[in-house]
């Protein structure tokens, strides 16, 4: 049985304490999330383990927002569970941002593939390059987590090597120069 629910959660859901302490609480969980929520929660209770699950909770006005639910058991002197403490943290904005980032990454990958170009990061201090697989293929180098810049410099046209190196040396000499 539910022993306590703070006023804010009651206001958020629009349910009374008595309703929160009944099967009505499950009606606040998004139908698409309930199928995972219930077995996850049941498993944690059965095993007496901490529980964490992201799911949508319906607000009093009918709007669903993502929350991160967490519950931890409180144990008595001999290890038996005496209470469960839980929280529901609103993570809706975070989930939306993650979805936007994922979508933008997918769009970037499509644009890079269509353009047949890649991406690389040159660590000036370490004189090393981290690149995507497409960039390694374009430059005819084997994929690696990080490669020495010297391997990439060899791929620069001989007429351009000196000016490229001079520009990089100037950047190293003045790290405050934007690049």
pTM of the model: 0.72
Instruction: Kindly give the residue spans of alpha helices, DSSP state H, lying in 68-176.
Output: 92-115, 133-139, 149-153, 158-173
What is the structure's pLDDT at 22?
A: 92
What is the structure's pLDDT at 56?
A: 98
- Helices (H) and strands (E) counted in the chain, each on its own, are 7, 6
Distance CA 36, CA 39 (A): 6
* Digitized pLDDT (tens) for each residue of the chain, 179 residues in all: 788 999 999 999 999 999 999 999 999 999 999 999 999 999 999 999 999 999 999 999 999 999 999 999 999 999 999 999 999 999 999 999 999 999 999 999 899 989 989 999 888 778 889 999 999 998 888 899 989 988 888 888 999 999 988 988 887 787 666 65
């Amino acid at each position: 049985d539910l022993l306590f629910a703070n006023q804010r959660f009651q206001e958020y859901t629009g349910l009374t304490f008595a309703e929160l302490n009944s099967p009505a609480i499950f009606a606040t969980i998004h139908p698409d999330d309930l199928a995972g929520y219930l077995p996850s929660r049941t498993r944690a209770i059965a095993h007496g383990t901490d529980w964490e699950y992201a799911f949508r909770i319906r607000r009093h006005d009918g709007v669903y927002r993502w929350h991160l639910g967490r519950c931890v058991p409180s144990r008595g002197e001999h290890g038996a569970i005496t209470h469960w403490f839980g929280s529901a943290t609103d993570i809706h904005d975070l989930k939306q941002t993650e979805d936007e980032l994922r979508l933008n990454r997918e769009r970037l990958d499509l644009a890079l593939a269509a353009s047949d170009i890649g991406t690389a990061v040159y660590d000036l201090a370490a004189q090393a390059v981290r690149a995507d697989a497409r960039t390694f293929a374009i430059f005819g180098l084997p994929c690696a987590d990080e490669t020495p810049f010297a391997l990439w410099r060899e791929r620069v046209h001989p007429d351009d090597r000196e000016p490229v190196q001079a520009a990089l040396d100037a950047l190293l000499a003045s790290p405050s120069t934007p690049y």
